Amino acid sequence: METTIPTVPTPDDAALWHEGVLYLADQRLLPDRAEFLRLTDAGAVADSIRAMVVRGAPAIGVAAAYGVALAGRDAYAAAGGGWKAAIESDLARLAASRPTAVNLFWAIDRMRRLIARLDERDPFPALVDEALAIHAEDRAANRVIGDLGAALIEARTDIITHCNAGAIATGGYGTALGVIRSAYAAGKVGRVFADETRPWMQGARLTAWELMHDGIPVTLQADGAAASLMAGRSVGWVIVGSDRIAANGDVANKIGTYGLAILAKHHGIKFMVAAPTSTIDLEVASGREIPIEERDPDELLSCGERRLAPAGCVARNPVFDVTPAELVDAIVTERGVVLRPTKEKIRALMGGWGL
C-alpha cells in the first residue's frame, strides 16, 4: 500500500511499501529500538526473512510477495522481454529463506501464477499490485478471524498465548492477538498471560509490546510457568497462531505449543488456533510431513549478548513443533471456524479441494 513511512513502526507496520521500496520493521530490535530496514532487492528480502528481521508466517508471505515484485523489476532491467527466465534465481532465494511457514510458499506460488499470465513487458506494476493485494487481504482476513475467534469465548476469562501471533507477525491486526483484540473489545478478556517464548523471546519482546501498545492487560511469564497458572483455574483459553496446518488439522507452531496443548487438555482448558487459510497446506497429509526449522544453537546458548551455557556445550534448537489435531478445540480462519478439526472438516472449509 503506497503510504508515507512513519518515523517508527507500530505493531501494524511489519511491512510497508512506499515508492518502490519495501520497509520492514526490524523485529530483532523491538521493543528497545523501533526502526525500519529499507530494502530494494529480492536478495535482501530473502536475507531479512532468514535473519528474522521480519517473522511470523503471514508477514513472511507478505514480505516475500514484495520481494517477488522487486525481483521482477530487476529481472526486466537485466533481461528485458526475457525477464521470466531471469527472475527464477530470486524466486529460489526467497523460497529457501525459511522452511516451515507455508505462507512463504503460498505467496510465491500466487505470484508465480500471476507471472505465468504476464507477457514480455515490464512486470513490475502488476507484481506490485498483487503484493499489495496479498497484504491488504491478510490484514482484512485477520479482522474476520478476530471476530470469529472472539465469538467462541463465552464469558470473560484469562488467556494464555505463546510466541507472537500479533499484528507485527502478519499484514496487520494479528491472528491470535487479533482474536484477543476483538475479545477484549467485547469485554471477554480479563488478562493475557504471554509466554516469553525462549529462545527468540517473541512473547517478551513483541507480544508484550503489542498488548501494552493497545492497553490490553498482559502479564509476561516464563514458558514453564504456564502449567501452574492453568492449575489455578483462571484461564479459559490458550490461543496461538500457526505456521502451517496439515490437511488433517495437525498444527505446526512455535516450539512449546505442543506442550501447552497437552497441558490445556489435562486442565480442561480450550485450545484455539487462529490462522488465515493461507496457512493451511492441503499438500501435507499430517504434521509428520511438515518441515521443522532448526536454527543456530547459539540462539539457545546465549541470551542477547550474554553467553549462558559453558563453552563447548552442545544444544538443539528446533523452533517449531506439531500439535496433533485431537488436541485442538478450534481452528479459526477467515473462511470460518473448524471445531474439533478432522481431515474432512478441513477439506470442507477449503471448498472440498481434493475430494
Ligand X SMILES: CSC[C@H]1O[C@H](OP(=O)(O)O)[C@H](O)[C@@H]1O
Q: Pick the stretch among 33-41, 165-173, 218-226, 284-292 that binds ligand X (CB under 6 A).
A: 165-173
Q: Pick the stretch among 11-19, 238-246, 265-273, 282-290 that binds ligand X (CB under 6 A).
A: 238-246
Q: Is 38 annotated as a binding residue?
A: no
For residue 76, what are the CA distances in angstroms to 45, 128, 139, 243? Answer: 18, 14, 30, 33
Q: Where are the alpha helices (DSSP H) in the chain?
A: 42-50, 57-79, 83-86, 88-95, 102-117, 124-152, 176-185, 202, 208-214, 226-231, 257-267, 298-301, 343-349
Q: Pick the stretch among 84-92, 236-244, 301-309, 344-352 that binds ligand X (CB under 6 A).
A: 236-244
**Active-site hit among 90, 138, 147, 243:** 243
- Told to check if 254 binds ligand X by CB under 6 A, we report yes
Amino acid identity, position 275: A
Residues in region 32-61 near ligand X by CB under 6 A = 55-58
Contacts of residues 291-297 at CB distance under 8 Å and 24 or more positions apart, as own/partner, are 291/99, 291/100, 292/99, 292/100, 292/252, 292/318, 292/319, 292/320, 292/321, 292/322, 293/98, 293/99, 293/100, 293/318, 293/319, 293/320, 294/318, 294/319, 295/319
Q: How far is the CB of 175 from ligand X (least distance, A)?
A: 4
In whole angstroms, give the CA distance from residue 312 to residue 15.
Answer: 38
Kind of pairing between the strands at 36-39 and 189-195: unpaired
Residue (of 95, 110, 112, 47) closest to 291 by Cα position = 95
Q: Binding residue for ligand X (CB under 6 A) from 9, 172, 241, 256?
A: 241
Q: Pick the stretch among 115-123, 186-194, 240-248, 298-306 that binds ligand X (CB under 6 A).
A: 240-248
Q: Tell me the per-residue interface mask from 111 to 150 with ligand X, x by CB under 6 A, - otherwise.
A: ----------------------------------------
Q: Nearer Cβ to ligand X, position 163 or 272?
A: 163
Q: How far is the CB of 37 from ligand X (least distance, A)?
A: 16
Q: Is 188 annotated as a binding residue?
A: no
Query: What are 209's three cell numbers?
Result: 509490546
In whole angstroms, give the CA distance from residue 91 to residue 96.
Answer: 9
Q: Binding residue for ligand X (CB under 6 A) from 148, 163, 204, 261?
A: 163
Q: How far is the CB of 279 from ligand X (least distance, A)?
A: 7
Q: How far is the CB of 39 from ligand X (least distance, A)?
A: 18
Residue 243 annotated in active site: yes
Binding residues for substrate: 55-57, 98, 202, 253-254
| Chain positions contacting ligand X, by CB under 6 A | 55-58, 163, 165, 169-170, 175, 202, 240-241, 243, 253-254, 319
Positions marked catalytic: 243
